[in-house]
Structure 1
């Protein structure tokens, strides 16, 4: 049903601004640009809670684009940390412990406490307004379960968006074969409910088709990660004339095997072998820093060469990328 020339889509997304980090950006940009293609988005998400980073500029961007946002409470660990606001990044050892117990006791993930509340809130919306499409994005995979239940209840077409793989996610832990079997069962149930599946990478598509034979090749569409032209400032053509320092930049969060140790040691070796270039190379790290990374900098005596900038608003992060000479990707 068209409303003012628009079809209506209900987006189910636990992670959404003012939460920050990479998990929100794809969804907020989808919501921003959908009206240009004839879709009016309503986002169902959680109330502000404790999290590792916040970005009010992305929230403002969504609001200025006319995105309707409906928030609910959620029974999950983050809710208990609401009063703390920004949560300090745990050490890698603590992260592994938290992940182990989270994967052991909560299926499909620690956000399962949001499912019943979200289904109830979405049901109220769907009874009040007519929506043409359900769009669920994950992780967390709880979003997929919410979408599948609403599809069954209201018989509205469902699209699921895999920002990361489910079973093949490299940082997902399955404590027992039973855990893996149950996750496989849940994924199959979601895929049977979905009318279309979106993935960010061909490997994820191939994994889904290999594991779930009932899914047709044409039902899985690859939409890779993109960018918003409006986020990038005009390039200054003379900014690289006679640079005083070479600036290397990294934007993102370090965890598990994604850590800066190799780069730190390589930079230390270069500066030790060629002392005259000390002060002419800088490594700028945009994102939350762990204490073990700061200690490694101290140990390698790189405090004048490596700069932790912390989490920055999205466009300030983009500016750091544009201003760099070399981008480092882990």
Structure 2
């Protein structure tokens, strides 16, 4: 069994979408000959604490080394505590201020403690490979430093693009140059890179050219075990109505306005009545969105469950009639930004994606049970909802293609990652110097 030093800032007992990919890789890697040694922060203040993920981690029982991260929400090193919901407009302002001073991100204070702990591990354990998943990109800085000093091959995993990320659009030229220098230094040290889709990796290759390491697409996915779980659903299913569910938070890049306006317009146009549809939200709704729901007259057809443990959230996916998602990113950013799509796919339920052209839209079009609406058109959303409602009334909602769905099973994806690890670990040093 080979050992991989697995650097992940987001890890249980923290909840949220950023935890799923590293957790599921850790769950299955041993089945493919790799023992993960996890380096992550000590518990601190979390906006989402998920007991179901903490319990799952206990069952996996990997080697975990937790360090004091010295970041805003982990500075105390205290027991895990959940912090109240912070309005998105406040978090946006905080992020903009932090981006002026903290490079590569607001987790910079975690780099030094993580590097120190990694070397403590290396002195006691034979490590064959270093793996880092980002964001935060501070993970990659830490991992590349450990690789540089130890000579251990490095694989960098990108859940989001770094230089080609939409948040770079808000930065000054001097900030972009600094970010490019940081990313270039990490890639120079890396022997391999994994990313969610071909659009992401292609964009990076165009920037860095020959300096770009060996790369492989390993998409987000779903864990089939989660969908076998017998956790009871908490969804307040409305009989005789089309039950539509959104799972997750709303950020500045995926606000629900066009969807809600599309529902309102569909009702005004007579496509269906308010009594024929119900909207469910799990993850939390900020006050601005609640006001919009009131303004559009949809309050009596909406239920907000707030943040739910992962297993309950998955149970609700299975019970709903239709799932929906939105990505308002510029059409220039075609890569997949959310793992939500793949959890939806795991449910094998019909999905409405409000999306630009790109990887996510292509996946939905191949899925079998997918519908795609334009991100800037409430009219198009209303039209798609009309179509969906009509086929639902007839009991003819399209089914997912099971053979297509199975390619996104987390266990199989972990097998692909392990095979890539085997390839990279055979190299005695980073491929590019």
1:79 aligns with one of 61, 74, 82: 74
Q: How many angstroms apart in 2 are the aligned matches of 1:127 and 1:174?
A: 42
- Pairs within 5 Å for 1:172-321: 172=168, 175-216=171-212, 219-233=214-228, 244-274=240-270, 277-321=273-317
Name the structure 1 match of 2:166: 170
Name the structure 2 match of 1:30: 25
Cα offset for 1:63?
2.4
Moved more, 122-131 or 297-306: 297-306
Cα offset for 1:191?
0.6
Unaligned runs of 5+ in 2: 231-237, 327-433
Q: How many angstroms apart in 2 are the aligned matches of 1:267 and 1:230?
A: 34
- Pairs within 5 Å for 1:110-149: 110-149=106-145
Contact 2:260 2:293 in 1 (8 A): yes
Q: How many angstroms apart in 2 are the aligned matches of 1:90 and 1:172?
A: 23
Q: Deviations over 1:50-82 (max 9, x none)?
A: 222121211221221231211111111112586
Moved more, 201-210 or 85-94: 85-94
Is residue 53 of structure 2 the alignment partner of residue 58 of structure 1? Answer: yes
Is residue 25 of structure 2 the alignment partner of residue 8 of structure 1? Answer: no
Name the structure 2 match of 1:324: 320
Cα offset for 1:95?
2.4
Cα offset for 1:131?
1.1
Say if 1:174 and 1:268 are closer, same or farther in 2 by CA, change over 3 A.
closer
Say if 1:216 and 1:260 are closer, same or farther in 2 by CA, change over 3 A.
closer
Q: Secondary structure at the match of 2:48?
A: coil
TM-score normalised by the chain length of structure 2: 0.70
Q: How many angstroms apart in 2 are the aligned matches of 1:282 and 1:53?
A: 26
Q: Secondary structure at the match of 1:232?
A: helix
Q: How many angstroms apart in 2 are the aligned matches of 1:205 and 1:143?
A: 19
Q: Deviations over 1:131-159 (max 9, x none)?
A: 11111000000000110010011111111
Contact 2:43 2:79 in 1 (8 A): no
Cα offset for 1:83?
7.8
Name the structure 1 match of 2:426: none
Aligned length: 318
Contact 1:171 1:256 in 2 (8 A): no
Q: Secondary structure at the match of 1:79?
A: coil
Cα offset for 1:211?
0.6
TM-score normalised by the chain length of structure 1: 0.90
Cα offset for 1:41?
0.9
Contact 1:8 1:132 in 2 (8 A): yes
Q: How many angstroms apart in 1 are the aligned matches of 2:170 and 2:143?
A: 23
Unaligned runs of 5+ in 1: 1-5, 236-241
Cα offset for 1:252?
1.7
Name the structure 2 match of 1:239: none
Q: How many angstroms apart in 2 are the aligned matches of 1:155 and 1:216?
A: 18
CA-based RMSD of the aligned residues comes to: 2.2
Q: Deviations over 1:171-219 (max 9, x none)?
A: 34553211111110111110111111000011110111111123357x0
Q: How many angstroms apart in 2 are the aligned matches of 1:65 and 1:58?
A: 11
Contact 2:14 2:48 in 1 (8 A): yes
Higher relative contact order (CA 8 A, sep 6+): 2
Say if 1:173 and 1:99 are closer, same or farther in 2 by CA, change over 3 A.
farther
Contact 2:43 2:80 in 1 (8 A): no
